[in-house]
A and B are shown apart, each in its own frame.
Chain A
């Protein structure tokens, strides 16, 4: 499973992780090596086997839509890198 620089750039874009050129090279080799070891999975006979996203036998959990305990605004904003009054300040979304 050999990835190209373009593959890595594409994945990095999907993941929104910025990468310098030298990081892309290292990542390409490391990911290719790791994925090559995981090729072993293709040998497993999974014909007719249901996928299992969870180890526990979980089902959807419903609750009544009632207002409970809420985080005070000051607490919710305390960790915000930039705030403006009672709002989180963000960079321009539209160019």
Chain B
């Protein structure tokens, strides 16, 4: 057995090690389980580690490799955010409500990865029901940023981002409703893609806000993003909102050539409140794009200042409906307090949901209630039309847009937990892509105060090839993605 250095190991590097028989999947998987044993007490990136399952899947993967039938992801250890259903493996949403829930079926993404011989090494921590920007809303424990354990990893996919950054898995899948893949990717110095709404099936993803939720990969580099997207994208009859679209080979889009690419800088994304270190890193990145031959110019998306209000009306409204299913009857937490059916319903939800989930259910219920629907929910949907329209217009003139992913680097644990509104401001640059349904990616683009800065690219609907080509060209011209935390 070779000594395997798992730090920063990508899927394409792991593929070479496995195919050349330098290591077996069993050895590779054990090396990651050892890494988890070494650092998990510091990061707390996992709700559940599935060691036995992983080693069994690795054994089967080794047989596939031996028979010459390995695919790009065969035998490579990965993590899933703990809001994606895994048959027979507890799926909690980091909520007391689902603490003991064992799904009777696999999410479509789970099934697709398993069909391609992926190795599930565990389930990643998240803000309860994916509601949050720091993973401090997990009902179990907060996750810590591998770059500075006293800071948050971002959220809600903080477990996935921290697990990839700390090399506890090769890649992970997150979900992104308002930035929940990109913002933690930014704060942990990894790559995070939110695909076009509907490109990846949501079947088996525990619903938060159904018109905004989308699954995507968190990886060490853009080449891995393309590999994982190849594996999970595509129409699914079990998700009627999944798009009927011929899935290209995203890896083939990574040509490194962005000469003549029209890059727009939306001025509304460069406003007061951005940390100077973040702004500098993004300006440097724009220079890199120009040096690569891109044509960069400023543009405008005037409705951007409304995006956060739209998001925090629409997402809680949908959540209040989606989370009505947690009634303590069919599955999930059920109160032991005495009383009638109605009493038990209220008690179950009082005891089973954490404060942020309750807040959002309340906001959504209010926005949808008689007398307020027109002024809040309907108004938000009208502004949503304006936001979508402005993106459509801007993408007539530009191939991609560039912005910071987050206005700040990772902040200290506990810093923003007292003021929900301050916490909401973290996603101000990421929410518009969800509102419009367009794809967006965050890539490492520098360091500020010793912490990673993320750069966001956005593209028009189903333009993932263009988006990944741009992100990859930028990545190859820099070495930010190769930096590793001291852990």
Interface residues of chain A, those whose CB is within 8 Å of chain B, are 8, 11-12, 14-20, 23, 27, 30-31, 33-35, 37-38, 40-44, 46, 49-56, 58, 61, 63, 71, 75-76, 78-82, 88, 90-93, 95
Contact = CB atoms under 8 A, between A and B. Distances in A.
A2 B238 CA distance: 43
Given A49-B382, A50-B382, A56-B437, A11 B362 contact: yes
Interface of B: 100-102, 104-105, 197-198, 211-212, 237, 240-241, 243, 303, 305-306, 309-310, 312-313, 320, 324, 328-334, 339-342, 344-347, 349-351, 353, 358-359, 361-363, 365-366, 369, 375-376, 378-386, 388, 420-421, 424, 434-438, 461
Given A38-B309, A38-B312, A40-B305, A75 B104 contact: yes
A91 to B, nearest CB: 4
22 contacts: A15-B362, A17-B353, A18-B351, A20-B350, A27-B362, A34-B363, A34-B424, A38-B312, A38-B313, A40-B306, A41-B306, A42-B379, A49-B382, A50-B385, A51-B382, A52-B381, A54-B241, A55-B384, A55-B438, A56-B243, A81-B331, A81-B334
Given A15-B362, A37-B309, A95-B340, A51 B347 contact: no
Dominant SS among interface residues on chain B: helix
A44 B381 contact: no
A46 to B, nearest CB: 4
B309 A17 contact: no
Contact of A46 (B332, B334, B379, B437): B379
A14 to B, nearest CB: 5
B233 to A, nearest CB: 15
A52 B362 contact: no
Contacts of A19: 350, 358
A92 B437 contact: no
Contacts of B436: 55
Contact of B104 (A61, A71, A93): A71
Contacts of B344: 91
